[in-house]
Structures are given as structure tokens and as C-alpha cells.
Amino acid sequence: MKFRLQMSLIVCLSLLVSASAFAQNKVIGPKQCSDSNCHKSIFDDLLFHPHETFFNEKFEEEGVKIAEKMNVKDQFEDEKCIKCHGIEVASDYPKVTEEEKGLFGIVCETCHNPAQDWVEIHDKKGKVPEAIKAGMRDTRNFYAWSKDCFRCHRGAKEDFYKAGHRLGEKFDLVKYSQGDFKHWVWSKEQEASGNLDAKLTQKIGKIWVAGEALQVEASIMRISEASGKGEYTEKNAALLSKAVENLKKVAGVIPSDKLSKLIAVGGKVNADPASAKAVAKEINATTVAFVNELDAADIAADKFASFPIPDKSTYIRNKK
């Protein structure tokens, strides 16, 4: 008997696990993470995150209306909804009890991937590559973890939008990933080297620039998938145009051939799906190339000062 656990934990996350991984029942559930000495504090902190409020209230409340319009009997059961809003725990992992199985909200494995095959090794020294090979998502990859957020927060397709689903116009990678809980930490080596303020500014700056690049990619893909020109494509085109203009500002301060190409590709697209389809095949490779270059670059913190990066006062909230 499935149950609905009224909690969700990880920020900006999307369901990125392959269908085969779920079919093999590899999801062990959040209790296996929260009970450990390593992740209990993260688990406790994330209970205050808006994902918790959304799953407890909005998903059921708003989801019913959207589901009815899309002829979905139960949004808690339908794959179209659950692939972003939930995850099923049905593992045969020995430590998972029957009481722990069922339908959960957005939890650790939503982004880190089903953990049965790597949970026992991922925290062992020198074992990260082995854990990644066993299925753990490599969140050290800047593009990969950023795309995790965009896959759901900017993944609403035309049929969802017409049924009343949010488009994700307010989604901002800095605001959503650096709000109530920042799900990344400095290494001991970084802390020991000092100058953390400059490093934090650089980190936030890179996240913002990557977010604008991924906004270009996401907007183009959503337009390319649409049935025709209309309100849905026009709104996506507006988001695309804003991101391209922001990236032009970045290019004026941080020159990059890969960024110039991304801007050029984005500039070819308007609200007509045909214009997006023409560049759909190259937009992913172009975005990945630029974000990887951005991640590796040693950019002085002051270079980000002129960009319209959200001030922390606009997204840091007090825990209740």
C-alpha cells in the first residue's frame, strides 16, 4: 500500500534517474540518509525548504485541477507528474523496512540517483569515482547539477501549461539554489586558504551566469516542442530574449568564443517553433561547452559586480 510522505528535501531538483533504475527498485528512501551521521543535519535543515510546503499543500491542491484538465486520475500516481514531484521507494535493500516503502516527495535520490548500489561506498575515501560508476550522480559537474533544476522548474511543456501548470517564469538558479539552504559546502582546503568572501562572490556569479545559459537552452527546447506559435511560445521567447540580453552583458566583461556562439544561437530563435527546431540539435552542445568552460575558468570576483545578480536579501528567508 503506497503512502504519501509529507516531506521533501532537496532544492531545485528534478527527477533525473533512468526508467530502468526505478524499474529495478534501487531507491532506498530518505530515512537511510537521515539516519546516518553524515546527513541528518542536512535532512533537518531541508525540512524548512519551500519544497516541503509545496508537496504538503500546493501539489495536492493545484495538482487536482491540472490533473483533471489532462485526464489524469491521480497526480500522485501518474508518471507525468511524479517524475518531477515524487519518487517511489520499493528497494530490496536489506535496511529498508516495509514501513519505509511508498511514494515520497522530492528527496535525496531525486537528484543523487537511486542509491542502493552506491550508498555503502560513496562516503569512503577515494571511492567517489567508484560510486559514480555504480550510479551516483556526479554533482561536481556544473552543467549536470544546474540542468537538474531546469529539467523540472523550466520543463513544463505546452499541454501542462494549457492545463494551468506554471511555466517557471520566476525560476532563477541563484535564488532557488542559494536560498533557505545552500546544498554545497566549502572543502576544508578552501576554508584554510582564506578569502571566502571573494570565493563566495565568484561561486554565486558563476551560478547566475550558468543559469542564464541554461535559460537559453530550456526556452529554445520548450519552443521547439510546441504545436504552434501562441501564448506558450511567446512567453518562452520572452524568457529567452531576456537571458540572451543578460549574456551579452556577460560577454562584454568575460569574453568567450563559446559564449558568443551561445548568444548567436539564441538570437536566431523567436516564438515560432520552426525557428527553435532549426537550432535544437546544437543548443545542448553549445550550452554544455560554455558552462564547462565557465566552471573551469578562474574569474576574478569583481568581474561579476556589473551583472544583475539577485541580492541575497531577495531570496534568503528565515526558518520557521
Q: Where are the domains of the chain?
A: 1-138, 140-320
Q: For residue 104, what are the β-bridge partners?
A: 87
* E strand or H helix that includes residue 103: strand 102-104
Q: Average pLDDT, stretch 260-277?
A: 97
165 DSSP 8-state letter: -
| Relative orientation angle of helices 257-267 and 231-253, to the nearest 10 degrees | 160
Q: How many Cα atoms within 13 Å fall on the side-chain side of residue 89?
A: 27
How many angstroms separate the CA atoms of 269 and 207, rounded?
24
Using one digit for the tens of pLDDT, what is the confidence trace for 211-232? 999 999 999 999 999 999 999 9
Which of helix, strand or coil describes residue 89?
A: strand
The reported pLDDT for the residue numbered 15 is 36
Query: How far apart (Å, rounded) are the C-alpha atoms in residues 92 and 90?
Result: 7
Given pLDDT bands bounded at 50, 70 and 90, which one contains residue 54? low
Question: Which residues in 226-277 belong to E strands, given as ranges?
Answer: none
Closest residue by Cα to residue 223 from 199, 243, 209: 243
CA-derived radius of gyration, the chain: 20
Q: Is the pLDDT of residue 2 over 80?
A: no
pLDDT at residue 257 tops 90:
yes
Q: Is the model more confident about 9 or about 48?
A: 48
pLDDT tens digits, 66-104: 999 999 988 888 888 888 887 888 888 888 888 888 777
- Contact between 138 and 132 under an 8 Å Cβ cutoff? The reply is yes
